[in-house]
Amino acid sequence: MAQTIRHGGNLREAARRYAIAFDDWLDLSTGINPRGYPVPPVPPDAWRRLPEDGDGLDECAARYYGAPFALPVAGSQAAIRALPTLLRRGTAGVAPLTYGEYAPAFMRAGHAIATLDIDAHDLPATLDHVIVANPNNPTAQRMSRDTLLHWHAQLASRGGTLIVDEAFADVDPASSLAGDTARDGLVVLRSVGKFFGLAGIRAGFVLAAPSIADALRDALGAWTVSGPARHAVVAAFADIGWQRETRAQLQRDGARLAALIASHGFDVRGTPLFAWTPTPGAPELQHALALRGIWTRLFDPPGMTPSLRVGLPGTEGDWARLTLALREICA
């Protein structure tokens, strides 16, 4: 039996476990922007008609990401599941603490998995494919464009592939490889759910050369993104003013969250959308916060220091609630 992969956002599970009503929780277990994009009303045709590939969504996304081409998918999760089946069987390098879906997806497709050292300059010759998140989820570690392009060149020289998950890159896209995705053997995954706070519409994009994108399109089939979701994405990508203001706000909020957690003696690393702290007391800290109706994400892999990921509060009342809880727990 396959092992269940745990994710944040499992608030109903927390509500049952702690016998606290669902609506009484403050959910900080994801890295989703709590002030999501205000989607304009959906045109009636978006509900009635089948989604059409010629509606301009591909081009709109390519402009937003600065990429040569963009393939719409039902969230980057769909691409993570399908891509390994399209690649030559080999050994895939995955960081020891990263998004939990990569390794199982490659193993299901018949690839071997090796531990990836994301601080290395050169990749081992034994690796055929490498999957990295930049910035990494949950450790918030960032990799430079130069390192990633160097890795890509090494992998491409032996027919391999570099897959870069940029789900959290919208706030600070300077290190994005979106503009380089015409290169064979380079795939960038982008998500609408995190920065835009629209995780529920399940929309994402694969930025890759046509040889990979066309094969993935055939594997996923028609109508991967619904009409209402396409409407929401086009509106969000076109709203430059909202994007500018939200980037600035998230930068401030991310720094505020990291400072709040650090003020209680924790080592903190963060992105504008979440903070991460490795500490032996992470399980106890998650439990103590949960007793106060605050849900966070625990990482407790074998052989590694436990850690906690905390998402952004959305209102000043939420900030006050988290501040008080940490003060009580750490007193």
The 3 state secondary structure assigned to 230-247 is HHHHHHHHHCHHHHHHHH
pLDDT at residue 68 tops 50: yes
Average pLDDT along the chain: 94
Q: CB-side exposure of 325: number of CA atoms within 13 Å?
A: 22
- Cβ atoms of 274 and 312 within 8 Å: the answer is yes
Confidence band, pLDDT 50/70/90 cuts, at residue 92: very high
User: In terms of DSSP bridges, do strands 161-165 and 129-133 run parallel, antiparallel, or are they unpaired?
Assistant: parallel
Which pLDDT does position 189 carry in this prediction?
A: 98
CA distance 132 to 276: 18
Name the helix (H) or strand (E) containing 29: none
- Average pLDDT (17-34) is 96
Bridge partners of 190, per DSSP, are 205
Tell me how far apart the 2 most distant CA atoms of the chain are, in Å.
Answer: 59
In this predicted structure, which of 3-12, 161-170, 171-180, 306-315 has the lowest mean pLDDT? Answer: 3-12
Q: Which stretch, 54-58, 100-104, 271-275, has highest mean pLDDT?
A: 271-275
- Predicted TM-score (pTM) of the model is 0.94
Which pLDDT does position 2 carry in this prediction?
A: 47
Name the helix (H) or strand (E) containing 330: helix 316-330
Amino acid code (one letter) for 26: L
pLDDT at residue 38 tops 70: yes
Domains 11-30+241-330 and 44-238 share a fold: no
* CATH number for domain 44-238, candidates 3.40.50.300, 3.30.200.20, 3.40.640.10, 3.40.47.10: 3.40.640.10
Token couple for 232: 């929401």
- Identify which has the larger pLDDT, 139 or 5: 139
Token couple for 28: 């900080």
pLDDT at residue 4 tops 70: no
- E-state strands within the chain: 26-27, 71-73, 91-94, 112-115, 129-133, 161-165, 186-191, 204-208, 269-271, 274-278, 294-295, 297-299, 307-311
- Average pLDDT (239-256) is 98
- Considering the chain, what percentage of its residues have pLDDT values greater than 70? 97
**pLDDT tens-digit series, residues 282-314:** 999 999 999 999 999 999 998 999 999 999 999
- Cβ atoms of 98 and 136 within 8 Å: the answer is yes
Angle subtended by helix axes 282-291 and 11-18, to nearest 10: 80
Which pLDDT does position 9 carry in this prediction?
A: 64
Q: Under DSSP, is residue 130 helix (H, G, I), strand (E, B) or coil?
A: strand
pLDDT at residue 82 tops 60: yes
Domain boundaries defined on the chain: 11-30+241-330, 44-238
CATH of domain 11-30+241-330: 3.90.1150.10
